[in-house]
Structure 1
Amino acid sequence: MQPKPEQERAPVAEAAIDASLLPKGYPKKVWTQDGGAVVVATGQEGGCSKVHAELAEQTADHVKVVLVEETPEPPGMCTMDLRYPPVAVQLDAPLDARKVVLEQRDVKVPR
């Protein structure tokens, strides 16, 4: 799912984001689109890795979004840069007053 242009974003307040499961220094910017039915977060990737978002849980009081960074194994020659692409998940119902819980996971993928 591709995020929409910036003018169609509705920022999620910092108080409505639980980023305690993210590594120190990881981006914590979150917004909604499509009337709150899509949650978009800023991911982090670098070198040969790529990030995507997975919707892990939806309850009456929160949604949990896992930011998955896939790194090729075995590693090859990669640049030493960091990128912060937006990644999106589709909800069953608009976010409304629910909290967004962010988690990050690293996985190795075959080259």
Structure 2
Amino acid sequence: MALVGCATSQPGGDAGAGPTLTTAPSSPSSAPPSEEFESPVPPGGTAVPEARVDATALPEGSPRAVWTEADGSVLGVIGQEAGCGRASVEVAEQSAQVVKVVLVETLPKDQQVCTMDIRYPPLTAKLDAPLGERSVVLSTRQEQR
């Protein structure tokens, strides 16, 4: 909750008294709420069923959407990055049963002044073969460069 203050001089009050500060709750913003996407899967993408996605290694609250594009050989995920960090995706392993994907957030080695925002960019990686019925296992890693 934000408070808005207005300083006003009160006529006729104490001659030596300074301005009086009055506070009132701010009115709700008239700006429309930020747009939410109906689905994180982009147009033309095909969602991978939740039953075939193992996201247990992701922190709570992390995006868990996984999709394929093209003929199924491009895998898409939602990354998470903050401040000066940059998100990327790596395919760590591909077998006949599973594709293991690592969501990487790369932070700068040198201390910098960074914003305190969190962003969720869509990321894609090329698979050796279409995903088909394989499962997807998601994990995360943070590194500095």
TM (norm. structure 1) is 0.91
Per-residue Cα deviation, 1:40-89 (whole angstroms, up to 9, x for no partner): 00000010000000110001111011011000012210000000001111
What does residue range 11-30 of structure 1 map to in structure 2 within 5 Å? 11-30=47-66
Task: Work out whether 1:7 is the aligned partner of 2:54.
Answer: no
Q: How many residues align?
A: 105
Give the superposed CA RMSD.
Answer: 1.1
Task: Work out whether 1:69 is the aligned partner of 2:105.
Answer: yes
Q: Which residue of 1 aligns with 2:77?
A: 41
Distance 2:42 2:123 in 1: 13
Distance 2:60 2:109 in 1: 24
Distance 1:107 1:10 in 2: 30
List gaps (5 residues or longer) in structure 1. none
Per-residue Cα deviation, 1:79-101 (whole angstroms, up to 9, x for no partner): 00000001111111110110010
Partner residue of 1:93 out of 100, 111, 129: 129
Q: Which residue of 2 aligns with 1:50?
A: 86
Identity fraction in percent: 48
- The structure whose residues are more often strand, as a share, is 1
Question: Computing the radius of gyration over CA atoms, which structure comes out larger, 1 or 2?
Answer: 2
Code of the residue aligned with 2:112 in structure 1: it is G
**In structure 2, the residue corresponding to 1:15 is in which secondary structure?**
helix
Code of the residue aligned with 2:76 in structure 1: it is V
Moved over 3 A (4+): none
Q: What's the CA shift for 1:21?
A: 1.2
Q: Which residue of 1 aligns with 2:22?
A: none
List gaps (5 residues or longer) in structure 2. 1-40
